[in-house]
Amino acid sequence: MPMGLSNDDLDRIDELVTIRRRIKRGEFLYQNGDPFSSLYAIRTGFFKTSVTTEDGRDQVTGFQMAGEITGLDGIVSDFHSCDSVALEDAEICVMPFDKIEYLSREVKALQHHVHRIMSKEIVREHGVMLLLGSMRAEERLAAFLLNLVKRLHARGFSRSELVLRMTREEIGSYLGLKLETVSRTFSKFADDGIIVVKQRNIQILDPDALNLIVNSQSCA
């Protein structure tokens, strides 16, 4: 992760990732109200985070995959304010936050890395706000697919094929749409020859078309 570290520093940071934990599909990594103690680095598997209101409404706030960090919401109040659920069997590193803070005080590069991770999450959420606040259904789903495939490709997966680990309802919750709208929009993209949909397997035939949908607010 951070670069330009001495071997000594590297050894100390290695300590952070010694605790491993396996999470089965459907299990919570943490839940709203749980005491906060650690951040979690995802080694394998796929998670979603969501917030829930008293009146039962809930909103998916993100999907996390290998190499990403989750749990940042707990720092401010020492309690988690959202749920994290594994969408497939997963393995994570438990990184006790007091240890992160301790090492951050010693290792400048780690300190900056932590700051960047948090800033990156803030910037990501700005993007989601833009999506939720000003895009139409097709634009939202196109942006979602492009984002997913980009992150998967950065991890060595195909640039054109992906397997959705979440339901239409979870996609809809994330995008501020109903599951029926997500389904219909997939069908429309398929009819237009932009993608092939086979349940949760998506093949992207025309990524440029998706880009065009996102970056041209209906003035096609």
Q: Give contact residues for DNA (rule: CB under 7 A).
A: 136-138, 164, 167-169, 176-184, 186-187, 197-200, 218
- Is 129 or 154 the residue whose CB approaches a copy of itself more closely? 129
Taking CB under 8 A as the criterion, the residue among 19, 37, 81, 89 binding a copy of itself is 81
Taking CB under 8 A as the criterion, the residue among 31, 134, 187, 201 binding a copy of itself is 134
2 binds a copy of itself (CB under 8 A): no
Spatial neighbors of 177 by CB under 8 A, at least 6 apart, are 137, 140, 141, 171, 185
Reference 64, options 114, 15, 124; nearest CA is 124
If contact means CB under 5 to 8 A according to the sort of partner, which of DNA, a copy of itself, none does residue 3 touch? none
182 binds a copy of itself (CB under 8 A): no
Please give the size of the binding site for a copy of itself, defined by CB under 8 A. Answer: 50
The footprint of a copy of itself on residues 41-60 (CB under 8 A) is 51, 53-59
Q: Which stretch binds a copy of itself (CB under 8 A): 3-11, 18-26, 130-138, 160-168?
A: 130-138
If contact means CB under 5 to 8 A according to the sort of partner, which of a copy of itself, DNA, none does residue 82 touch? a copy of itself
Which 3-state string (H, E, C) describes the chain?
CCCCCCHHHHHHHHHHHCEEEEECCCCEEECCCCECCEEEEEEEEEEEEEEECCCCCEEEEEEEECCCEECHHHCCCCECCCEEEEEEEEEEEEEEHHHHHHHHHHCHHHHHHHHHHHHHHHHHHHHHHHHHHHCCHHHHHHHHHHHHHHHHHHCCCCCCEEECCCCHHHHHHHHCCCHHHHHHHHHHHHHCCCEEEECCEEEECCHHHHHHHHCCCCCC
If contact means CB under 5 to 8 A according to the sort of partner, which of DNA, a copy of itself, none does residue 93 touch? none
If contact means CB under 5 to 8 A according to the sort of partner, which of a copy of itself, DNA, none does residue 208 touch? none
Reference 171, options 132, 203, 204, 144; nearest CA is 144
- Is 61 or 64 the residue whose CB approaches a copy of itself more closely? 61
72 binds a copy of itself (CB under 8 A): yes
31 binds a copy of itself (CB under 8 A): no
- Chain contacts with a copy of itself (rule: CB under 8 A): 51, 53-59, 61, 72-77, 81-82, 101, 104-106, 108, 111-112, 114-116, 118-123, 125-130, 132-135, 173-176, 215-217
